[in-house]
Structures are given as C-alpha cells and as structure tokens.
Amino acid sequence: MKTSYIDRVHKWGRAWNFSMLVIMLIFPVAVGIIFRAVPDSKGLILGLIATAPMYWAVGIVETFTYIPMLGAGGSYLSFVTGNISNLKLPCALNALEQAGVKANSEEGEVVSTIAIAVSSIVTTLIIILGVILITPLTPILQAPALQPAFAQLIPALFGGLGVIFISKNWKISVAPAVLMLLLFIFVPALNAGTVGIMVPVSVLFTLAVSRFMYKKGMLD
C-alpha cells in the first residue's frame, strides 16, 4: 500500500521530534553523571512544580495556535528548530502569501514546509558565519551608530508583515492591537522575554473576537 505524503510527514516528524527530545535530555543527564552533580530530588521536584505547568500550558496553546498556520511538516520543523514567532512563522506566512495558497491546503502544506526548511538552513549558515566572523566584526557591530538599527530589527520584520495582513481586514486587527498595547503598558512584568507566551494568547483572543464580529455581521 502506497503511503501518502502527509502520512510520511507525520512518521518522520514524530521520529525526529522524539530524537531531538532524547538528545536535549542526554546532555544534562551526562553532565550530572560525569561531574557527579546529580540534582537534589526535592529541589528538582519543587523547581518543576514552579516552572513546568507554565511550559505545559504554553506548549498546548502553541500547538493549537501554530499548527493551523504552519501545517504539519512546517510545525514539526519549527518545534525542532525553534524561534517560531520571530522567524519561522513570518517566513511561512510570507511564503503562503506570495504563493497565493492557504495553509490548510495541500499546496500550502508543501510551501510552508519548504519555507521553514530554507529558513532553518539559512539561519544555521548565518550562525556558522557569525561564529567565524564574530571576533573581527565585534568592533563594527558594537559601534554606537548601529545600535538603534539592531533594536528595530524585530519591529521592522513584524511591521512589514503586519501591513500586508492588516490591510486585508483592518477591523480584525483593532482588538488584539489594543489588548497587547494595554497589557504591555500597564503590566510591568510583561517584557521582550514574554513575547513567546503572548503571541498564542493574542492569536486566541483574535480568533474569539473575529468569530464574535462575524456572528454580528460586523465583517465585510
């Protein structure tokens, strides 16, 4: 029996994701064994109780948030390589936009996977070049004149994407934009480190508001 493309995606996606999970866990276990620095069981449990529920919640929310936008293959790649909200998601959405296909179609599945794969390869090559060139380029990169530009890289990236998608239906963008502005202005605990958590929250909020507006006939 011939295996379909999506079945192969799930087969190899699960295999590589579990393999990466094992590899990530091997390092701390090996360090603990080699240096005889096994953590205290009580401290480990208390630490997990304090932090693990947050990561479980984020993991569940991100799964339901990103998969419809990235497709199966793109999601497997993204969850292995990381940096989804800042890099993989914008690349996939831009590729889908340029190709004129939807993420939940067969064409969109392929386009999204290729875009994220290319993004991962390019990122890896840039990191390699950065490691090689970091010493000679450090004086240039630390020049005061360039610091304002580096601070605006992420806003510029999402700003460009935002213009494309907001222009399609600006009414949908008002509620999430107001919510995020109010949260980041009036909740001091929210900062650049919490963006990964707030993106799924914003997506779910946008879906809820969009559905309400659709039911009320407020969307064109």
Question: Which pLDDT score, from 0 to 100, does residue 64 have?
Answer: 80
Instruction: Say which DSSP state 145 is in.
Output: G
Percent of the chain with pLDDT over 70: 95
Question: Which pLDDT score, from 0 to 100, does residue 145 have?
Answer: 83
Question: Which pLDDT score, from 0 to 100, does residue 7 have?
Answer: 85
- Can you tell me which residue has the tokens 């039911």? 215
What is the rounded average pLDDT of the residues 33-57? 80
If we measure between CA atoms, which residue out of 147, 164, 156, 73 comes closest to residue 117?
73
- For 101-159, write each residue's pLDDT tens digit: 887 788 888 899 999 999 999 989 988 998 898 888 888 878 888 888 877 877 777 77
Question: Which pLDDT score, from 0 to 100, does residue 220 have?
Answer: 64
AA letter at 22: V
CA distance between the termini of the chain: 46
Question: Taking all residues of the chain, what is their mean pLDDT, rounded to a whole number?
Answer: 83
pTM over 0.85: no
Cα–Cα distance, 51 to 40 (Å, whole number):
16
- For 152-194, write each residue's pLDDT tens digit: 877 777 777 777 677 777 888 888 888 888 888 888 777 766 6
